[in-house]
Chain A
Amino acid sequence: MKLPKYINTTISRLSILLIIVYLNSSFMYGQDSMEDASITVTFSEEDGVKTLIAAATDQEGLPIEDLELYFYVKRTFSLLPIGDPFNSTDENGIIEMEFANDLPGDTEGNLEIVIKLFESDLYNDMTVEVTKDWGIPIIIEDPKSEKRSLWSAAANAPLTLIVLITSMIAAVWYIICYIIFTLFKISRIKD
């Protein structure tokens, strides 16, 4: 069918526009076409060796291969990277990571493990946080209790020092008081 000329150009322009728009969205944003991966974490411990197993699957439940995941443990100011710098899922979508035995946790030994997925071409960024008591429990000093030492507050001076100084001062001042008392008695002597 022969279309009028102007309709031809309009259609060609519109199609160019549509093509450009489609390419735009798929290259620059990917939000519509990028998937959400789902990461599950399991723990296994054998012979004192702790292993963290992360399994990545896509929306259909199929394992994702060659996906880079980053493992961290939450610390006071920042996230501490654990394990190897780069971890990629194998063909089953699984990363097995050996977990260090000597990471300090909180008072109960809990650690907040953070797994991040970012800078992936196919999947959206996501963060998974898991708490696990694989840390070494730390003992928190009671801020109000202080051991006796030379550098502690006045109330917690070493006992030896206190006893020594007090006894020496007491001895000398006892003598002084005795002398003052004697002088007093001298003044009271009636001839």
Chain B
Amino acid sequence: MKKDKLTQEFKTERERKVLGHLVFTSPKYKLWVAFLILIIIFGMFGYYRQLRYGLEVTAMRDYTSWGIYISNFVFFVAISLVGSLISSILKLNKNDWARPLTRISEMIAVAAIICAAVIIIVDMGRPDRFFFVITHLRIQSPIIWDVIIISTYLTISLLLLFISLLPDIAVCRDKLTAIPKWKKFMYRVLAINWKNSDVQIAKLRKVTTILAITVLPVAFAIHTVTSWLFATTWRPGWDSTNLGPYFVSGAFMAGAAVIIFAMYLLRIHLNLKEYITNRHFDKMGRLLVLLSLVYLYFNINEYLGPAFKMVGVEGEHIIELFTGKYAPMYWLVQVGGLILPIIFLIFRPFRRPLPIFIISFFVILGAWFKRFLIVIPSLQHPYLPIQGVDESYLHYNPTWEEWAITMASFAWLLLIITVLIKLFPVIPVHDKIENKEEVEPKSLKNEAS
């Protein structure tokens, strides 16, 4: 006896576009998830080797005692700030064009913070003692401040995501029929009795505003505290008073690029051309230029002082970045990841979807390698000379285990985002919170194609 095939009907075009993929699983999706899981399995094998033999399997040694795990951690914390950028800054600024992007930015923020926490545990020499951070904590340590602020930011980001999702979960609960039982149950529970009543709407609106204001200082704090992991030490390149603003501005820039990247992919794969329009790319491109200019300003500040003075190991560090071992990477990152994007994005033709997607990709790549350049070269120039050690101590070339685990962390990030997109509508279905009517797809005439 065959089961009755459940049918799904959508009333409006918008609903069909936004909710369609929640019900129907395309083969593309399955392939993508399988690919991500493959990378994760490979990374897990690398981590198994690390658990078994210790951190010896990495390329980290007594001088370069922090490696790409830490630079990856900084990168993830950086892109998690995108949540506050879109949900808080742009929303409070009444930039309504950004509203379709709030959901995806929150999803990225939540996924990035979770992966940041995971990668930090991977970096620990004794992950079996992770709970000591709670039971034996020392409030004087910057790591403890980081732990506190990350958990706080994760909670707030989850709340922000949930609150913006709430009316749409109710829609899913009500409108989606052709879904398995567990999904129906999930929507019903998560919708917490949302009935679209005026009282509920009023309360939710108040809560959204409060949260939008609260997340801003927390977002600034999270990346500033992460920068204090470096600024509280005596290392060339780290011993800088500029490190907090430098990190935060870099985070906003990298986050904006990640949003553009995600926007483009969603637009293509979920067929959301009417909702993520060329106008969105244009505006995000301009925002990216602004944030990159701020980041460029802090970059100049960060390097001009030490380069002018050339004090001892600071001087050696600057030489190594500008003309030495790391020069190719440094200039590729600064020029290809920062300066050229600014120049290109000033011109309108480059702010179209495909060009800006490519440029954002390079910005993200530049941002990842910039964090590498922040963490590793400084450790290779301690005050006391490195002598009498194995040749391998002088260079840091990450081993395959480290790369596998890093790739796996990216795969985790993408997997979490993919699953969230599959479960929840990524574009708001209803805009009742902002008291706007359902928006029909804009006519294509208005857009410059």
Contact = CB atoms under 8 A, between A and B. Distances in A.
Q: So, do A and B actually touch in the complex, CB under 8 Å?
A: yes
Interface of A: 150-154, 157-158, 161-162, 165, 169, 172-173, 175-176, 178-180, 182-189, 191
Secondary structure type dominating chain B contacts? helix
13 contacts: A150-B140, A157-B138, A161-B139, A162-B139, A172-B218, A179-B210, A179-B211, A182-B207, A183-B192, A183-B207, A186-B204, A187-B192, A189-B193
Contacts of B195: 189, 191
With most chain A CB atoms within 10 A of its CB, the pick from B136, B138, B152 is: B138
Nearest to B136: A154
Interface of B: 136-140, 145, 148, 152, 155-156, 159, 162-163, 192-195, 197, 199-200, 203-204, 206-207, 210-211, 214, 218
| 9 tightest Cβ-Cβ pairs between the two chains A and B | A187-B192, A154-B138, A187-B193, A157-B139, A150-B140, A157-B140, A186-B200, A182-B207, A175-B214
A172 B152 contact: yes
Contact of B197 (A173, A178, A182, A191): A191
Nearest to B160: A179
Contact of A175 (B140, B192, B193, B210): B210
A15 B192 CA distance: 123
A189 B195 CA distance: 9
B156 to A, nearest CB: 7
Given A157-B139, A169-B148, A176-B156, A189 B197 contact: yes
Nearest to B145: A165
Secondary structure type dominating chain A contacts? helix
Contacts, number: 67
B203 A182 contact: yes
A172 B214 contact: yes
A153 to B, nearest CB: 8
Contacts of B145: 165
A132 to B, nearest CB: 45
Nearest to B162: A183
A167 to B, nearest CB: 13
With most chain B CB atoms within 10 A of its CB, the pick from A175, A176, A178, A186 is: A186
B274 to A, nearest CB: 31
A178 B210 CA distance: 10
A182 B145 CA distance: 28
A187 B195 CA distance: 9
Contacts of B214: 172, 175-176
Nearest to A152: B140
A172 B195 CA distance: 29
B152 A185 contact: no
Contact of A176 (B136, B137, B155, B200): B155
Nearest to B196: A191
Contacts of A158: 140
B432 to A, nearest CB: 14
A151 B140 contact: yes
